[in-house]
Amino acid sequence: MKNNTRQIFSTFAGVLGVACLSLLISCAGHQQSAVDPAGPQSGRIDTLWWSFFWLLGAIFVIVMVLTLMTLGRRHRGFEQEPLEATHKPSEETDSRLRRIIAGATVTTVVILFVLIVASVGTGKANSELQNKKNPLTIQVTGNQWWWQLEYMNSDPTKILVTANEMHIPVGRPVQIRGISNDVIHSFWVPNLNGKRDLIPSHVTTQWMEADHPGVFRGQCAEFCGLQHAHMAIWVIAEPEDKFDAWMRAQLQPAAGPSTPELQRGRQVFMNNACVYCHEIQGTTAAGQNGPDLTHFGSRRGIAANTVPNTAGNLAGWILDPQSLKPGNHMATIALNSTDLQPLVEYLESLK
Amino acid sequence: MSEVRTLDVSGLKQYEISNQAPLWWGQLMIVFIEGTMFAILIAAYFYTRLRMDVWPPPGDQYPHLLLPSVALIPLVLSCLGTYWAGDSAKKNDRAGMLGGLGLNLVLAGIALAMRIVEWHSLNFNWMTDIQGSYVWAFLGLHTFDYIGDLVFTAVLFVLIAIGRYGPKQRQGVYVDSVVWYFLVAIWIPIYVVIYWGPVIVGTQQ
Amino acid sequence: MRTGAMGICVMCLLLLAACQREKRDIRPSPTRLAIYGDAAKEDALRPGGPISPQPVVNNPYNGSAYDISEGQRLFNWYNCSGCHANGGGGIGPPLIKQHWTYGGEPANLFDTIVKGRPNGMPAWGGRIPEYQVWQIIAFIRSMNGEQPRSATASRQDSIETNPQNIVNRVRGKTK
Amino acid sequence: MTASQDIYPQTPNLAHDVDQLERSWRHPRGIFGWFSYTTHQAIGMRYIITAFIMLLAGGVEALLMRTQLMHANNGFLSADRYNELFTTHGTTMMFLFAVPMMEGMAIYLVPLMCGTRNVAFPRLNAFGYWIFVVGVLFLYWGVFTNAAPDMGWFAYPPLSGPQFTPGKRTDYWAQMITFTEVSALCVASELIVTISKMRAPGMSLNRMPLYVWSILTQSFMVIFAMPAIVLASSYLLSDRTVATHFVNPAEGGDPLLYQHIFWFFGHPEVYIIFIPALGFVSAIVVAHARREIVGYTAMVLSQIANGFIAFGLWVHHMFATDLPQIGAAYFTASSMMIAITSGVQIFCWIATLWSGRPRLTTALHFVYGFIAIFVLGGLSGVVLASIPLDLQVHDTFFVVAHFHYVLIGGAVFPLFGAFYHWFPKMTGRMMNERLGRLNFWVLFIGFNLTFFPMHILGLKGMPRRVYTYSPEMGWDQLNFLATVGAWVIAVGGLLFIANVLWSRKKGAIAGNNPWDADSLEWAAASPPPNYNFEYLPAVTSRYPLWVPGADRTFVTGTRSDRREVLVTTLMDAEPHHRYILPGPSIWPLVAGICVSIGFVGSVFNAWYVTWGAIISGLALIAWFWPKRPLEPADE
């Protein structure tokens, strides 16, 4: 009996210790982490999480210790009762236990009340962001399996359409208007704020703000079909001036091809199925089914950030999109071997 | 110490035609199940209506109110037949059971016929739009149960008529009433929703 | 014994039907990306000329639910619906019909799409890959009930466009 | 002075024809006969075995998934296979393992615990089982013909709608749901009636064993929750087959309405699974701590409260959908309330163990394991109830960890405890305790190894339902750990099977009451004969077998030449009348097949609803057609 108790004790303690350690060690320094906050909102949630963690952790330890103590003998003090035969302790024992249970229940209620207040308070504080001045509104459209971003502006010529990479200014609130073109997706950049579903026939809103520059990753968090796993977005928080410069550059139409090789690349693009789905502003390519490629070369990733944007990856993606991301909607087109190189170079030149 | 005490139940009845019978309770469970289902469906109807700017959806006619309202009369009266049959089942009164079941069948049949006539005047079906889907879901589910219960009433009628019945079948006659009352009772809110709904919560009068 | 064998045969057929219906050829095989063939053995000099009685190529995606649905997506993406709105026609002829000017077999449809036809149908050959042409054909045939119903979507997530349901409204009496 | 002593006459008259009882309860012979069994032990055991096979199937699916996630960019499974596997895994575990398993155990145990001979509607019971079997076969027919559902076990439209999942995958799934819900509703109805009307004389509501209370609560939850999933799956099915617009966003069919309806069922579903498990725990704790439960009334009330609250917190599955804040805050509060009612039960068990004389058997090991895992799962549930935290960890591996802690910890560990506890009753032989303890430790360690790292993965941003992830995400080590844990669990499962196989043949003979337990099932022989008790028992205490001096009261005067039981009143269980249960019949199977033809056919052609209804109606008429001689005769 005693051996067993010790065995149970040590296992529990071991599991618990390893658990806490790994939790503490492994949470910092990630580009997609709920416990590495980069904004006031995720910061508050982070604080809330750790207060929950320590409080609930303490409760867990107490309950476990009590549970394990039931295996011991020394604590009882009702040794006199011949329980094995009667199965019924004295009324005194029972009423004492009932009082303890009632006390524990009241404690539970109090703790839960505190937790509710803390959690509602955090929620309320987080929603204050929408009252801040000068917000930036970005419309995020979920598609199978990529993100379309529209930087809203009262001046229609200044509406920027891009995809899969979001730049935001540090210290300025960002309103995310979420819509969906097909199925339900969920926009989630854990370092900045919690997630928000993008639901067909609904418009959802979410607010976020970065308090320091950085590069954060987000990923679709609602199962949306075959390639749900490969639907990522980069959020790049940068100082206001850098952001403005980026914005100005992105609002320009695509650069014209400067060499014959690039010229040829553009021609390949225009003569193939590419044009039916992709838009390159400043050219005749105006397809709306896939991501806008006007400044494709300036982005970090391809295929909704499945792989980094390099010439090699791009060539592989164009040649055989279905092996990198099986089931996605990009057509596998029959390209001549001489056409691929110029096309890749042209796309990469769209800075 | 181990004195054996016994409880002699040989004097108790061998069957029971009342709400103490397990079968009656079984019917009550069916009522709970279907009642919940229809309640959720009604809630879903209003939820959907709240999401729409125009109700009923453009192109859908306003339902005719006369025929379905008149059809309520034989439907509600058919409960009298059920009650009569159930009461006679308790007393083992064959003529009463036949009369009650027969009355129920006739009146319910008339109500059903009127309902089917009414269907033909609807200018939308379940594929036309969302209102069509809901209206036909109500009609379909309720009519399915309705016909099912009528068939069983008819079977009981035949059993009683050919004399192939005992207490168990009489119990059947009695508990059959539970579901019938429910089907009639639940039809009233459904009737209000599908026929008066467009008038009451519709966007134009 | 015989019925048992029959039963097994029926089961196998059902199984095969299911296999074809649920097949998802996510990665098109490279051979289908090759040079466009002359699917219907049509007279190359006279596009739109007489149709060979024996089309030689069949649609590899016949009866495949995934490909029919892909075809429907592409039908919109490549803006086929711009001229053949929802199969009902507009600038171009309707696609829900009995009589096909240039033949309604998959191979004929393939030629029509790839080579184009006089009076407005552009030649899509070389612009959209072959396997997508077949997917679009699978969808077009589904509109005419020439695909198994179990492989065809009952509706799209769009405003109801099924002509039969719209007719239904007109037929009924209005208050 | 108990009420029963007043009612029961003291005339010992024990002339009873056991042979005749044996004859009237005998199973019919032959294959044909095998399909006509209606005794609750047979049907319950069939449920248990079928559901256990489903546990193994779901387990294999889980192993495949874990193997795929073992390291980054693994190519073991393709995206579509992975999606099919997690959908089938979730569906199998929820609908084909957990609920039917709990029902099977209840069908087996409730009549024994209530001191009666069978459930109230034995043929309905058989019908429910056959329908469930068809549901199993239907889903797995799809799995093996490359038509496994791949839209998640929750089947959110529009992804599950006609446009985005072509083919018949989702239709198979939706119709499989219909089969399981019909089966669950049959079982729930008959269990409610059995518990309400067929308890042993003297077993008033406040003397009912806690396990029976838990089944009563669970059955009512089934009755009120399942209709919601009937609607949800019908929405999907009719949209996909006859082009209705229930979930078509363009026509005003709201995808969120589906979510509301689904989770109005889906959340209670979780409690449907684990409330019976709490009943197991109560039974095991009382028997193995060898004392009466502390706070019986508190236990019962909190169980019932659990059942009620479960219907009021479905929205916490939808916090990320941008709901009004006030409403959402209400659901935070109601979600946390469940921690109170669950907490009360945990405290009562700990107090019972504390003041009892616990025998550290394997069954009790599983109870301790349950408390550890379930408390942790409950606490992470508190985290999920908080909206700001939920918005971060919702749909991540944190949630995966949470609900496996709650469901495996809360339901499967007690279930294994229950196997070890009641195996002697069901088979007449004890299970091997040494192997049992090994089994427990392997499962316990494997479980924590698998699921604890998932909490951290979730916080580190790993979403659920991803078939792969890239190496830069830093999720490799924890995933590898989880995969190793999954294989350890598999070993634990094999140890259990080995123990069952060994113990069935070689286990020590158990006797009627090997644990010196308190409730009526231990008064029957092990394994119980088809009629359970030679004499129906009457009880005078909450713990009938612990009554000092073991003096018992028996019911006499029921006829043994037919399947007769006693109907008692709802509250006080006073004898009311006698009730003849139907004997074996093939018609439940026939009716089940007819209904299945309608259901399966309607996936392909809506007219099958009509044809199915007609043949099912005919089968039902044949089922109920009175056979001569008509029993009972009129008096």
Alpha-helix runs per DSSP H in D92-168:
99-114, 122-144
| A168 SS3 class | strand
pLDDT > 70: percent of chain A:
89
In sequence order, what are the residues at sequence separation of 6 or more whose Cβ sits closer than 8 angstroms to the Cβ of residue D175?
Answer: D138, D233, D237, D599, D600, D602, D603
Residue A27 is which amino acid?
Answer: C
Compute the average pLDDT of residues A263-291.
Answer: 91
Taking residue D367's Cβ as centre, other Cβ atoms within 10 Å add up to: 27
- The secondary structure element, H or E, covering residue A140 is strand A136-143
Contact state of A34 with D332 under an 8 Å Cβ cutoff: no
Structure tokens given for D414: 């007690």
Shortest alpha-carbon distance between residue C144 and chain B (Å): 19
What is D49-584's CATH topology? Cytochrome C Oxidase; Chain A (1.20.210)
What is d(CA D352, CA D290) in angstroms, rounded to the nearest whole number?
Answer: 9
- The number of C-alpha atoms within 13 Å of D454 and in the hemisphere containing its C-beta is 30
What is d(CA A211, CA A328) in angstroms, rounded to the nearest whole number?
Answer: 35
What is d(CA C125, CA A334) in angstroms, rounded to the nearest whole number?
Answer: 11
Query: Could you tell me if D476 lies within 8 Å of chain A, comparing CB atoms?
Result: no
pLDDT at C171: 47
What is d(CA C74, CA D392) in angstroms, rounded to the nearest whole number?
Answer: 36
The residues that bridge with D136 in the sheet, in sequence order, are none
Query: Does residue A28 sit in the same domain as residue A108?
Result: yes
Cis? peptide before A145, omega within 30° of 0: yes
Contact state of A226 with D80 under an 8 Å Cβ cutoff: yes
- The number of C-alpha atoms within 13 Å of A161 and in the hemisphere containing its C-beta is 18
> Nearest-CA residue of chain B relative to D557?
B10
Mutant choice from C157, C160, C162, C169 vs D, greatest count of D C-beta within 10 A? C157
pLDDT at A102: 94
Structure tokens given for D154: 């929750």
pLDDT at C170: 47
Considering only the beta carbons, identify the residue of B5, B32, B37 that sits closest to D230.
Answer: B37
> What is the number of structural domains in chain A?
3
Question: What's the pLDDT tens digit per position in A121-141?
Answer: 999 999 888 888 889 999 999
pLDDT band at B1 (very low <50, low <70, confident <90, very high): very low
- Of the candidates D410, D401, D486, the residue with the CA atom closest to the CA atom of residue D452: D401
Shortest alpha-carbon distance between residue B83 and chain C (Å): 39
Considering only the beta carbons, identify the residue of A8, A98, A200 that sits closest to D255.
Answer: A200
What is d(CA D102, CA D99) in angstroms, rounded to the nearest whole number?
Answer: 5
pLDDT at D6: 32
Contact state of D469 with A42 under an 8 Å Cβ cutoff: no
Shortest alpha-carbon distance between residue C60 and chain D (Å): 17
Query: Does residue A125 sit in the same domain as residue A136?
Result: no
Compute the average pLDDT of residues A276-300.
Answer: 92
> What is the number of structural domains in chain C?
1
pLDDT at D2: 35
B122: which chain C residues are within 8 Å (Cβ-Cβ)?
172
Structural domain includes residue C169: no
Query: Does residue A216 sit in the same domain as residue A293?
Result: no
Most confident of A335-349, B138-152, C139-153: B138-152
Contact yes or no for B10/D557 (Cβ under 8 A)? yes
The residues that bridge with D429 in the sheet, in sequence order, are D509
Query: Does residue A73 sit in the same domain as residue A102?
Result: yes
Structural domain includes residue C75: yes
pLDDT at D588: 95
Least confident window among B23-27, C70-74, D627-631: D627-631
Taking residue B11's Cβ as centre, other Cβ atoms within 10 Å add up to: 8
Contact yes or no for B195/B60 (Cβ under 8 A)? no
Structural domain includes residue C40: yes
What is d(CA A338, CA A347) in angstroms, rounded to the nearest whole number?
Answer: 15
- Of the candidates A163, A143, A162, the residue with the CA atom closest to the CA atom of residue A220: A143
C127: which chain A residues are within 8 Å (Cβ-Cβ)?
271-273, 276
What is d(CA B198, CA B205) in angstroms, rounded to the nearest whole number?
Answer: 9
Compute the average pLDDT of residues A10-14.
Answer: 62
Query: Does residue A197 sit in the same domain as residue A282?
Result: no
Contact yes or no for A126/D329 (Cβ under 8 A)? no
Query: Which residue segment(s) compose the domain that A238 sits in?
Result: 132-251
Give me the residue label for tokens 């083919």: D167
Domain-ending residue, one of A129, A158, A190: A129
> Nearest-CA residue of chain B relative to D226?
B33
The per-residue b/e assignment along D311-340, b for 16 or more CB within 10 angstroms, e otherwise, is bbbbbbbbbbbbbeeeebbebbbbbbbbbb
Query: For the packed helices B130-161 and D210-242, what is the interaxial angle rounded to 10 degrees?
Result: 120
Q: Residue ranges per domain, chain D? A: 49-584
Give the Å distances, CA to CA, from B48 to B38, D161, D252.
15, 18, 7
CATH code, domain carrying A200: 2.60.40.420
What is d(CA A18, CA D72) in angstroms, rounded to the nearest whole number?
Answer: 23
C37: which chain A residues are within 8 Å (Cβ-Cβ)?
none
Cis? peptide before D629, omega within 30° of 0: yes
Query: Does residue A23 sit in the same domain as residue A113?
Result: yes
Contact yes or no for D79/A145 (Cβ under 8 A)? no
What is the 3-class SS of chain C, one letter each residue? CHHHHHHHHHHHHHHHHHHHHHCCCCCCCHHHHCCCCCCCCCCCCCCCCCCCCCCCCCCCCCCCHHHHHHHHHHHHHCCHHHCCHHHCCCCCCCCCCCCCCCCCCHHHHHHHHHHCECCCECCCCCCCCHHHHHHHHHHHHHHCCCCCHHHCCCCCCCCCCCHHHHHHHHHCCCC
pTM of the entire structure?
Answer: 0.92
Going by DSSP bridges, is the β-strand pair A232-238/A165-169 parallel, antiparallel, or unpaired? parallel
What is d(CA D409, CA A12) in angstroms, rounded to the nearest whole number?
Answer: 15
Is pLDDT above 80 for C136?
yes
Complete domains list, chain B, with CATH: 22-45+64-200 (1.20.120.80)
Contact state of D168 with C21 under an 8 Å Cβ cutoff: yes
| A219 SS3 class | strand
Residue D515 is which amino acid?
Answer: W
pLDDT at A3: 52
Taking any CB pair shorter than 8 Å as contact, residues of chain C touching chain D are 15, 18-19, 21-24, 26, 65-66, 68-69, 72, 149-151, 153-160, 162
Cα distance between the two ends of chain A: 72
Query: Could you tell me if B59 lies within 8 Å of chain D, comparing CB atoms?
Result: no
Least confident window among B7-21, C39-53, D529-543: C39-53
What is d(CA A189, CA B186) in angstroms, rounded to the nearest whole number?
Answer: 48
Residues lower than pLDDT 50 in chain D = 1-13
What is d(CA D430, CA D52) in angstroms, rounded to the nearest whole number?
Answer: 20
Is pLDDT above 50 for C33?
no
Residue A203 is which amino acid?
Answer: V
Structural domain includes residue C167: no
Cis? peptide before D537, omega within 30° of 0: no
A343 DSSP assignment: H
Structure tokens given for D129: 């089982």
Q: How is the beta sheet containing A232-238 ordered, strand by strand?
A: A165-169, A232-238, A214-219
> Nearest-CA residue of chain B relative to C161?
B128
pLDDT band at A84 (very low <50, low <70, confident <90, very high): confident
Query: For the packed helices D362-385 and A91-127, what is the interaxial angle rounded to 10 degrees?
Result: 30
Give the Å distances, CA to CA, from D359 to D227, D284, D347.
43, 11, 19
Query: Does residue A297 sit in the same domain as residue A244?
Result: no
Question: What's the pLDDT tens digit per position in A249-276?
Answer: 999 999 888 899 999 999 999 988 899 9
Structure tokens given for A240: 């206001």
Query: Does residue A240 sit in the same domain as residue A143?
Result: yes
Shortest alpha-carbon distance between residue D241 and chain C (Å): 6
Shortest alpha-carbon distance between residue C159 and chain B (Å): 8
Is pLDDT above 80 for A2?
no
In sequence order, what are the residues at sequence separation of 6 or more whose Cβ sits closer than 8 angstroms to the Cβ of residue D551?
Answer: B1, B2, B3, B4, B5
Residue B50 is which amino acid?
Answer: L
Mutant choice from D82, D163, D237 vs C, greatest count of C C-beta within 10 A? D163
Compute the average pLDDT of residues C98-112.
Answer: 84
Least confident window among A37-46, C78-87, D427-436: C78-87
pLDDT at A272: 87
Structural domain includes residue C92: yes
Question: What's the pLDDT tens digit per position in B33-49?
Answer: 999 999 999 999 999 99
Query: For the packed helices D362-385 and D397-404, what is the interaxial angle rounded to 10 degrees?
Result: 140
Give the Å distances, CA to CA, from A122 to A41, C96, C144.
9, 58, 57
Mutant choice from C23, C26, C131, C132 vs A, greatest count of A C-beta within 10 A? C26
Query: For the packed helices A40-69 and D325-355, what is the interaxial angle rounded to 10 degrees?
Result: 20
C142: which chain D residues are within 8 Å (Cβ-Cβ)?
none
Mean pLDDT computed over every residue of chain A: 88
Considering only the beta carbons, identify the residue of B121, B125, B127 that sits closest to C173.
Answer: B121
Least confident window among C31-45, C137-151, D71-85, D589-603: C31-45
Q: CA dihedral in degrees (D484, D486, D490, D495; nearest 10)?
A: 70
Contact state of C169 with B64 under an 8 Å Cβ cutoff: no
Query: Which residue segment(s) compose the domain that C87 sits in?
Result: 2-153
Query: Does residue A16 sit in the same domain as residue A93?
Result: yes
Alpha-helix runs per DSSP H in D117-209:
122-144, 169-197
Contact state of A322 with C129 under an 8 Å Cβ cutoff: no
What is d(CA D370, CA D363) in angstroms, rounded to the nearest whole number?
Answer: 11
Least confident window among A245-249, B48-52, C57-61, D277-281: C57-61
